[in-house]
Structure 1
């Protein structure tokens, strides 16, 4: 019985240490979440202004310009920009994304030869590699609070592959941050840049007539890459926000579970201790009776 008490005591000590670790990790994730939400507020101001510029171009019916990110071409290969986390301990954050991506591939009856994966985050890259998909681009170690400069290199690689027809259409796959306790799957077409939604929002029966200087192509060569950058940066920022929230929730759940285990072990320890004391008293009483 003494060994059993010792074993329970060791398990209580070990679980308490685990609870301390998960509690600390929850605090870190919550802090990162607050930081990235502040960063997101600054980004949206810039994104809204850029959105207005592209909306005005759409109003002027500047669409499908050859040699730009607006150009529509026959779709032979579809690219998926998959944004997952590098590490685990984030609950179902990654599994939901991967499940939805595979479902989308199956729904459109795409063969592995027709799919090009651009993976941001190790979990997605490793999973899709194991399934035999073509990983055309891989980026690990995205900052906890990503900077615009960090994403610019990613966008350059992505748009370069699009220009070189590595894929003909690109959809970004990520988790959208809804609140501190929930997120939702998003799949948004990024390339070619579509102005359809802008035209609908600005369609009032009157259309602006623009004179472009030096040329339409020159203006689009500057504006569209910046717009693509804002789309990718927004998705990564959103995904990272959802990741920190998922991590915080997972660590809170782990901390609560550890507390429950400690409570159960405490009851088990007290019962075992009472049983041991009762046994000792019985043995002492029996010994005294034998002496009499």
Structure 2
């Protein structure tokens, strides 16, 4: 049985750890509120953009723009993996990395070459240890970013696609559903796919748009911006998901600290009682020896 001093030091250490996890939980909660606010502001714009561009692309020939044209042979696939720069957020990053690797290995099994764009230190460090090439890695960007980052990534990706470096581009990010649930999401961003109604479902009433100038002229301007909007939404979702996952992980860690303190306190009381009993036995034994 450990000594009283050892158990007391363990209790103090666990209590200090609890203070840290509780503080990190509060910080993550504050950052989550800001991230949610950004999603709420940007979400309606992205949804309307997606609806309008889907209608625009559906009425246009795929040969009208290179970003719509599906190439006959897919040789090289790029995967844009968005993770966090920091850890302590449970299995959040591991789920994203596993989802991207599953996609990459499925494409590789089809005979395609797979390359990665990594945004976030956790994803970059993990993919570098795998069998796939990392074309670009951006770290220390997820803590504080704006649309400039999405614009940079969009321009780089579109340029590589138009040069023929890639024939298909996917993005893997953390989709923020609510505070309790964040799921890895995979989305093909190039070539752009028109939105189709799932089989068995009826399309609802849709607005009819009149475009001026021509549809082809609008596609030249809007399609690159659409790619950047999709990337930016993935960045925002991942940021909010990261903070929600870290908040949940730190909350669980705080509860575990409470349980450990209770267990160690019980152990401390048992050790103290054993020490008192031993001292009493020594006293009684000494008294009996004096009588003898």
TM-score strictly above 0.5: yes
Conserved in 1, the CA contact under 8 Å of 2:22 and 2:251? yes
CA distance in 1, matches of 2:252, 2:207: 54
Worse-superposed segment, 198-207 or 152-161: 198-207
Q: Which runs of 5 or more residues in structure 2 are unaligned?
A: none
Q: Give CA deviations for 1:28-57 in whole Å, capped at 9, x if unaligned.
A: 111111111111011012213322431341
Per the alignment, residue 255 of structure 1 pairs with 254
1:128 matched residue in structure 2? 127
Work out the CA distance in 2 between the residues paired with 1:210 and 1:199: 26
> What do you get for the CA RMSD once the two structures are aligned?
2.8
Name the counterpart of 1:241.
240
Q: CA deviation at 1:205?
A: 12
Distance 2:208 2:3 in 1: 83
Q: 1:69 aligns with which of 42, 67, 70?
A: 67
**1:149/1:276 CA distance change after superposition, 3 Å:** same
**Structure-1 residue corresponding to 2:173:** 174
Q: TM-score, normalised by structure 1?
A: 0.89
Q: Secondary structure at the match of 2:288?
A: helix
In 2, distance between residues paired with 1:173 and 1:273? 55
TM-score for the superposition, normalised by structure 2: 0.89
More displaced 10-residue stretch of structure 1: 193-202 or 102-111: 193-202
Asked if residue 221 in structure 1 is aligned to residue 220 in structure 2, the reply is yes
Deviations 1:160-208 (A, max 9, x none): 2212222110111122112212222211111111124389999799997
**Which SS does the other structure have where 2:251 is aligned?**
helix
The answer to whether residue 214 in structure 2 is matched with residue 183 in structure 1 is no
- Contact 2:75-2:113 within 8 A present in 1 as well: yes
Within 5 Å, which residues of 2 pair with 1:1-292?
A: 4-66=3-65, 68-73=66-71, 74-110=73-109, 114-144=113-143, 146-197=145-196, 212-213=212-213, 216-292=215-291
Q: Is the Cα contact below 8 Å between 1:18 and 1:258 reproduced in 2?
A: yes
Contact in 2 for aligned 1:84/1:97 (Cα 8 Å):
yes
Question: Alpha-carbon deviation of 1:109?
Answer: 4.0
Structure 1 spans left out of the alignment, 5+ residues: none
Taking the aligned partners of 1:95 and 1:47, their CA distance within structure 2 comes to: 27
